[in-house]
Every structure is written in structure tokens, then in C-alpha cells.
Amino acid sequence: MRASLDHVIEQLKRAKRALIVGHVRPDGDAIGSVAALTLILRKLGVAAEGCIPDRVPWFYREIPGTRILRTVEEIRGRKFDTAIVLDSSDLSRIGDAVELLPREEPDVVLDHHVTNTGFGALNFCDPDYAATAMIVHEIGKRLVPYDRELAEVILLGIATDTGFFKYAAVDDRTFAAAAELARHGARIQPIASAVLEHRSPKTIRLLVEMFRTLRIEAGGRLAYAYVSAEMLRRTGCDEEETEGFVGEIRALHGVEVAILFTEWPEGEVHASLRSKSYMDVSRVVRALGGGGHPRAAGCTLKVPRLQDAITRVVEVTRSALLEEVL
Ligand code: AMP
Ligand code: MN
Ligand code: MN
């Protein structure tokens, strides 16, 4: 059922033991919005646990509010009466955390993906919000007083999903929310530093390796590169260290669509797509079982060889780009 925010708030107030979950391969919005809603519900006296069903990349821990996040193992066996899923377009996005849900269907889903399937009992999904953390902020400011810890995790979600306030979805509401959060003590500098300036020498070596694989097609409008499992092993990097790499490909002048293929774990290839100004990449990945936003989307393919995934995704993207021009 599609719900209003009032409706969602009523449901949240009824919770006694709440589970808040984000998506696998978490980004700053999944991490920030889950941490924020957990803090908000705890301020209301709810026994709330925030769970990320995958490892949280280490650098997010520099933002104090993210340290309340738990893994599935840490809260397995706990009983919850209410489950809230954030920033996830379908139930498969929460991975193993599905086993923690009290019922098959989450009670509340809050999201901003155009590809959201409406899989909760109550669904609030609005692609006009630049981040799920913006929706959590709308709820939070009606319910509890803010402190720096809470304001900062919300700002983390907004900042990361807007590319630090530079994507097309950024408007006056985004800046107004950021200003409100800054008034409550949130600082953008430690967030930017943690998220954008955490690369180690080995990550840079991996980035160099990635750029060696760069291909440019469609008259310079499509650029793609890959990180293979072997490259990860050779440089001693984890998959999470490729965070931000696809943005480096999009940074090429004239490129409309950038794709990064990551082979991890072996037998699986994740494609991260980014567009610059007109191409709807969420439409491209839909045909491949993925999801996302018009300017940032992804899909995961189970294929024996990395090259199989590259051929398939590039083919679909190339024809979508050509259609766009006609
Ligand atoms: P990424 O490819 O991980 O950089 O993600 C870009 C956007 O697409 C994010 O909003 C993700 O939540 C979404 N996304 C990525 N992979 C998938 C997938 N397999 N299914 C649905 N949504 C996805
Ligand atoms: Mn996300
Ligand atoms: Mn998001």
C-alpha cells in the first residue's frame, strides 16, 4: 500500500522492537539513513537496531553515528515486532537480513528509487527525494530533537547520494535540508574527507589498473572499464575499495554513460552505471534485472566470464544510447 508520511509516522510510533535494514553493498545513503532512523527511534524509546547486511566500508566508521550499525550475525535470534527497509528497491536488496524479518513483508519501506516494487505493507517511495536520508529527515524532524550525531548521519546520506551536491536532482530542498542539518551541528568536512579522501596507495594502484582497461565508444559518449577478481588479488584490494571509481570514468569530457564492471565474488559481475545529463540508466539495467536511478544504476550478473557480462551490458547500453540520439 502506498502510504503518506503521516501514516508511516503512526506506524513507527506503535513499534516497540524495531529492525531497520539497508541494502547490500551499502552506500552512504543506506548507511546514513539506517543509522539515522535507528537513532530517531531510540530517542522515542523504541528498542531499535539498525542492520546493514554486508560489511560497512571502514571509512564510514569515521562518522560517529554509523557505529551503531550491526551485522546480521550480531542480531540473529533477536525478536522484532516492526521491520523497516530503507533505500532498497526490492526485497532481494537486503540480502541475508531477510531472515531477521518478523513477517515475510516488511512493515514499512522508505525509498527514492524509480524502480521500487512496493514490497512493504506500507510503502513511501518518492523519486523526488535526492536521498532516502531526506525522507528520514522529514520524519525525524517531526518527532525528535536533533543532535550532531543524528544530523551528521543524515547529511552523510544526502551528500553521498547527490555526489556532494552536484547531481541534477539537487535543488533548493536539498540545500535547505543541508542548512537545517548544519544548524544542528552537522559538518560536511569530516564527511567529505571520510568518503572522498580515504584512498590508500594500493587503491590508487588498482585505479591505475582499472584505467588500463578503459574503452571509449559511441563517438566518445560511452566509456567503460573493469576491475577483475585477479586485479583485486594482485593489488591486495577489497571490492569495496572500488567505491568512486565509476565517477572517475564519468569525469571524461564528452562521456554521457560510464560503466564500471567489478568481478566479485568470482562468477558474479556487478555493473555500476552512471550518466551525466540525459541518459536514463535505470531503464538500461531494468532489462538486466537491476535497478537504480536515472543517473546511477546497477545490476549484478552471474556469468562464467567477466567478458560475457561486459559484452551484454555494453550491447544494451550502446543501443539505448543510439535510440536516445535518433
Ligand atoms: P551501484 O551500481 O552500486 O553504484 O549503485 C547505483 C544505484 O543503483 C544505487 O542506487 C543502487 O541502490 C542501485 N542498484 C545497484 N545494483 C542494483 C541491483 N542489482 N538491483 C537494484 N538496484 C541496484
Ligand atoms: Mn543506496
Ligand atoms: Mn539512495
Q: What is the mean pLDDT of the chain?
A: 97
Give the number of the ligand closest to the Cα of residue 111: 3
120 closest CA partner among 215, 232, 20: 20
Residue type, 86: L
Q: pLDDT per residue over 281-305, tens digit each?
A: 999 999 999 999 999 999 999 999 9
Residue 326: is its pLDDT beyond 60? no
Give the three-class secondary structure for 125.
strand
d(CA 216, CA 123) in angstroms, rounded, equals 40
Would you give the end-to-end CA distance of the chain in angstroms? 39
Across 170-188, average pLDDT: 97
> In angstroms, what is the span from residue 202 Cα to ligand 3's centroid?
28
Residue type, 29: D
Across 61-80, average pLDDT: 97
Residue 168's pLDDT band (boundaries 50, 70, 90)? confident
Distances (CA, A) of 211 to 2, 204, 206, 286, 317: 44, 11, 9, 27, 20
Residue 151's pLDDT band (boundaries 50, 70, 90)? very high
pLDDT of residue 1: 86
> In angstroms, what is the span from residue 41 Cα to ligand 3's centroid?
20
Which domains does the chain possess?
A: 5-196 (3.90.1640.10), 203-325 (3.10.310.30)
Strand partners, 223: 216, 258
Across 167-191, average pLDDT: 96
Q: pLDDT per residue over 206-231, tens digit each?
A: 999 999 999 999 999 999 999 999 99
pLDDT of residue 323: 87
Give the number of the ligand closest to the Cα of residue 296: 1
Distances (CA, A) of 216 to 212, 245, 252, 297: 12, 16, 10, 19
Residue 96: is its pLDDT beyond 70? yes
Probe ligand 1: pick from 29, 33, 113, max atoms within 8 Å of CB? 113
Question: What are the helix (H) ranges across 69-200?
Answer: 72-75, 132-143, 148-161, 172-183, 188-196
Q: pLDDT per residue over 21-31, tens digit each?
A: 999 999 999 99
pLDDT of residue 325: 63
> In angstroms, what is the span from residue 16 Cα to ligand 1's centroid?
31
Question: Is 137 near ligand 1, meaning CB less than 6 Å away?
Answer: no
Pairing mode, strands 268-275 and 257-263: antiparallel
Question: Is 297 near ligand 1, meaning CB less than 6 Å away?
Answer: yes
Question: Is 250 near ligand 1, meaning CB less than 6 Å away?
Answer: no
pLDDT of residue 241: 92
Across 242-268, average pLDDT: 96
- 325 Cβ contact partners less than 8 Å away, ≥ 6 residues apart: none
Residue nearest to atom 7 of ligand 1 (CA): 297
Residue 179: is its pLDDT beyond 70? yes
- 299 Cβ contact partners less than 8 Å away, ≥ 6 residues apart: 270, 271, 285, 288, 289, 290, 291, 313
> In angstroms, what is the span from residue 290 Cα to ligand 1's centroid?
7
> In angstroms, what is the span from residue 205 Cα to ligand 1's centroid?
25
Across 128-155, average pLDDT: 98
Residue nearest to atom 13 of ligand 1 (CA): 292
d(CA 45, CA 106) in angstroms, rounded, equals 21
Residue nearest to atom 10 of ligand 1 (CA): 292
> In angstroms, what is the span from residue 73 Cα to ligand 2's centroid?
22
pLDDT of residue 150: 98
Give the three-class secondary structure for 71.
coil
Q: Which residue has the higher pLDDT, 2 or 231?
A: 231
Across 180-186, average pLDDT: 98
**pLDDT > 90 in the chain, percent:** 96
Q: Which atom of ligand 1 is nearest to the CA of 282?
A: 8
The strand ranges marked E within the chain are 17-21, 47-51, 82-86, 108-111, 122-125, 215-217, 222-227, 257-263, 268-275, 291-292, 296-302
Determine which helix (DSSP H) or strand (DSSP E) holds 313, and give its type and residue range: helix 306-325
